Structure 1
């Protein structure tokens, strides 16, 4: 089975989401990302509607709060049947461990526990911004690798990171540790607000486990054709 790029459904409401999805063949089962904008507008029902259509969902809410609150929230997220969800690694090991406990407790018997990954540094963050705004004085690569190792020690499945940092993370973590990389752009597209980007073929070569693609598909005049092109490139096909 071919690996599927995760499509970022960064739309303001489900009306736009289904206008977009209706341009795909009905039998094409997608892997999609639901982020804050869409989830806070439509609520949990948007996830249910997508999973009922057979799509896998990465629920990208980046939880970051006290451990008990995150644990309780994750119990609710687990009941939605998502494939992947996430937290901020900056919340610390106790919070990440609590998040995993919540996911396990909230998952129905016989169902798979969703993959839990942590955000290291946002792909919109430059090293200069990290050092000045967060007062982190090491390099961006060191910060990301540290967060990744801390994430693995907390029992999580992997991290969200730039494809540019995958090699450094691979050196610090185990073979099966997930590196999910947003900011993926075909070579002929604009970077947008992402500062650290890579093409699908480059991400594959460097060892990304999953890639997230937004505007090159969602803003394409022919989204299904753009999706197939990126999927083929991601799988090493022309």
Structure 2
């Protein structure tokens, strides 16, 4: 599924890959509509009917992920509202073991996320995730979402890497397809990004796993081989 011996760098999505997507799903589909209904004196279902199409229309663009954009458009403090449900922020299964194994195998681990810097800080404060990786890059630094081909060119200038020796792990097939078009050597999909939702369907061309325990044995085997050399 992954050829660990050919890798130097592992790019990791954050939400839905390392962290449980349940936080974001709950926020956008439940908590925000509730607060929006209160703010504009709407019934809860009216709020959803107004908000969800508005949000979905931005899917795949940087606006979809941009806290500033939604704060301005809705006239609500999105970062503050996210903090109200911060207790839902948490790791997906086996993530810390996987990140430790990457470090032990001397593979460079870099979080490559579409998350806006404000909620990113909130998530790092809650999880300490930044202590387990080499660095974190937000697409907002480049003004391009990962789905945009130009993102990977800008990333190369910030985090020099050899695409052929790089693995991209993400729960978004559009992002993985974008990475593959940019020459990333290997891609791996996360099929169960949200602990409260059914797993996603797989992709014919991109291998997928539900949790990292499915690839940990092979990674640790590679580590054992390295230790004998």
Per the TM superposition, whether the score is higher than 0.5 is no
Say which structure, 1 or 2, has more relative contact order (CA 8 Å, 6+ apart).
2
Instruction: Return the TM-score normalized by structure 1.
Output: 0.29
Identify, as 1 or 2, the structure richer in helix: 2
Identify, as 1 or 2, the structure richer in strand: 1
Instruction: Return the TM-score normalized by structure 2.
Output: 0.30
Larger radius of gyration: 2
